[in-house]
Chain A
Amino acid sequence: MGEDADTRKINHSFLRDHSYVTEADIISTVEFNHTGELLATGDKGGRVVIFQREPESKNEPHSQGEYNVYSTFQSHEPEFDYLKSLEIEEKINKIKWLPQQNAAHSLLSTNDKTIKLWKVTERDKRPEGYNLKDEEGKLKDLSTVTSLQVPVLKPMDLMVEVSPRRIFANGHTYHINSISVNSDCETYMSADDLRINLWHLAITDRSFNIVDIKPANMEDLTEVITASEFHPHHCNLFVYSSSKGSLRLCDMRASALCDKHSKLFEEPEDPSNRSFFSEIISSVSDVKFSHSGRFMLTRDYLTVKVWDLNMETKPIETYQVHDYLRSKLCSLYENDCIFDKFECAWNGSDSVIMTGAYNNFFRMFDRNTKRDVTLEASRESSKPRAILKPRRVCVGGKRRKDDISVDSLDFTKKILHTAWHPAENIIAIAATNNLYIFQDKVNSEMH
């Protein structure tokens, strides 16, 4: 990590809005919509909470651009699979927004088995002056009606209505880990551990299987799909990652079943770092295309890597998230933390990447300056509107004031889900059941 003075250049102007406590439940996914006006979170209890950014007003400069709750709804309920005698969790695994095509907003939310399309609409007017009904909606006594009137629309308090428009069920045997909307705005894909399906947004009773890595003999199973995403511009291209650390770029034009990849991105194992846990820590937990579509970002247990689509042999950049954990893999295997799945995110200009870590820390890496910073999302360590202070984990040797020792890290406080506003320096961080939204007030434009 760089000197304090340098790391401050990245983060010193971050202000914190305020934290939103979703009291009961752990946040399981966070996603901005395409304009950044809306931010959706899903939680373990199957609820979705949508936040809307307030328009900036000159009258109240302190509250400009803050996010407030816009709508809350129950997306998924716990279900029971009678065939297997198993309960299906209502936890929302992923939310993806559809590009906005009219006044309404639409999003896809999914749990382990079922994807739902929700439509979010606003109602701020209501008709008044019906001829046949009175104000309460009861039918009028016709003998009292002496003249006709034209109903008029009158303003009312804003009401946000959310309705399920499609339910895409029974497409997956295994647990859905990702969904991705295609740039054609007509189709989307859903991936579980062994298969990827392509759906049309308007058709719920069938989907098309495009990837199937289930072996004929289940005893040969050694690899599962961990994440997948459509290319942001080329509607025929998508990528999926595996538990062995490989990425497969597939072209749907090549064949109907994309079991054969067009490109395989894999970095050979570093012999000096080999251990029993090499495979587990190489398992890719998240893959994201850059906004430009030229690069991919992957997260494995200890690193984030940037891949160039034109180079399959190795990533072009590798950033260490928490390399001090490398000597602790045994303990982390014992307590299952080694299986934690962290997400990663690009900023709008693809110049900075972000990912979460333990102890409510999250990390940002500037690809241009090669500087990185560790920040903490917690109410104890920062007050509203305060500037975030860079944190440091010390691994022995000189210890500065406020450094955290590796052995003091709280592994129950993990930041798995993070999101970056598509255009501005605003980030959303989910820390267990708390949502933090940080804004960079000084450098609000992308560099």
Chain B
Amino acid sequence: MLGKGVKRKREEEEEEDLTSQDWWLEETTPSPNPEEGASPAPLPPSSLFNLSIFKLHHGLRRGEPDLRHLVLVVNTLRRIQSSMALESSPPEPPCPAPVDPLPVAPDAPLCTSVSALLDDLSHIEGLCDTQTSFSEDIPLSRPPETGLDPGRPAPLGSLELLLEDGLEGLFDDIDTSMYDCELWPNLKTDSGETEDKIQGQGLDVSELDYLMDVLVGTQTL
């Protein structure tokens, strides 16, 4: 609880953004109090977006995510995304986003990756907790920090890996008879297998056990 401060990385940004107004506000309003002592220069939306993605990753990697924190961060992300979508030109060129140092300039590729990220998140949100042991056994092929660098937007793949690794328990239920088991989403493992076959509701425990064994590799299909 103490020492929550994340080291401020914004010095270089502040130098480059000295003239920026509070344009990270959704509506353009004049700076409310010009007399204020050195307020830090506000972050441009793209940096806020990256920061939010970082927080999301960080929150998901925790053992049991704080649901309120996650929901608020996701909602903020959506606000930033829609604001950036409004500001950018309508056509969305495809990914990947260029690897720029802060501040990130192009908004259009970011929009694409944001919507894809949020789509992925909503897939992940439907995970059933019975895949807990499965996730632990899948090694990461890339270091997770790849996606955590706020200097560039998180690419799709690393988000999936991160979510696989640290996701267990996100938005899910205790598996008791009182609660429904959620759908198994499409997941990509490191070996490239797609778990389409796992979709479906009402899987019983023996089927889940078998599937887990398959995924862990002790059985072959």
Chain A residues with CB under 8 Å of chain B are: 26, 44, 83-87, 170, 173-175, 193-194, 217-219, 221-224, 226, 243, 271-272, 274-277, 279-280, 283, 326-328, 330-331, 333-337, 339, 395-397, 405-407, 411-412, 432
Q: Are B8 and A334 in contact (CB under 8 A)?
A: yes
* Bound CA–CA A175/B170 (angstroms): 12
Select A327's contact among B24, B36, B174, beta carbons within 8 Å: B36
Which residues of chain A are within 8 angstroms of B169 by Cβ–Cβ distance? Answer: 84, 86
Which residues of chain B are within 8 angstroms of A336 by Cβ–Cβ distance? Answer: 4, 6, 55
- Cross-chain pairs A/B with CB under 8 angstroms, 19 sampled: A44-B1, A83-B175, A84-B64, A84-B132, A86-B168, A170-B176, A175-B66, A218-B172, A221-B125, A272-B29, A275-B26, A276-B45, A277-B76, A279-B79, A333-B76, A334-B6, A336-B6, A396-B36, A396-B37
Q: Are B75 and A279 in contact (CB under 8 A)?
A: yes
Which residues of chain B from 56 to 104 have any CB-CB distance to chain A below 8 Å in the complex?
63-64, 66-69, 71-72, 74-76, 79-80, 83
* Bound CA–CA A227/B201 (angstroms): 33
The residue in chain B whose Cβ has the minimal distance to the Cβ of A244 is B75
Which residues of chain B are within 8 angstroms of A221 by Cβ–Cβ distance? Answer: 71, 125, 171
Beyond A396-B35, A406-B37, whether A84 also contacts B71 by CB under 8 A is no
Which residues of chain B are within 8 angstroms of A175 by Cβ–Cβ distance? Answer: 64, 66-67
Chain A: minimal CB distance from B76 (Å): 6
* Bound CA–CA A223/B75 (angstroms): 9
Q: Is B117 located at the chain interface by the 8 A CB criterion?
A: no
Chain B residues with CB under 8 Å of chain A are: 1-6, 8, 24-27, 29, 32-33, 35-40, 42-43, 45, 48, 51, 55, 63-64, 66-69, 71-72, 74-76, 79-80, 83, 121-123, 125-126, 129, 132-133, 136, 168-169, 171-176, 179, 182
Select B42's contact among A283, A330, A407, beta carbons within 8 Å: A330
Given A219-B126, A272-B29, 7 more A-B residue pairs with CB atoms under 8 Å apart are A84-B168, A193-B67, A274-B27, A333-B48, A333-B76, A334-B8, A407-B37
Which residues of chain B are within 8 angstroms of A339 by Cβ–Cβ distance? Answer: 68-69, 72
Beyond A84-B132, A87-B63, whether A283 also contacts B68 by CB under 8 A is yes
Pairs A-B, 10 closest by C-beta atoms? A219-B122, A218-B125, A193-B67, A396-B35, A335-B5, A218-B171, A336-B4, A86-B64, A86-B63, A84-B169
Q: Are A274 and B26 in contact (CB under 8 A)?
A: yes
* Bound CA–CA A243/B172 (angstroms): 19
Q: Are B39 and A283 in contact (CB under 8 A)?
A: no
Beyond A219-B125, A276-B26, A396-B33, whether A173 also contacts B171 by CB under 8 A is no
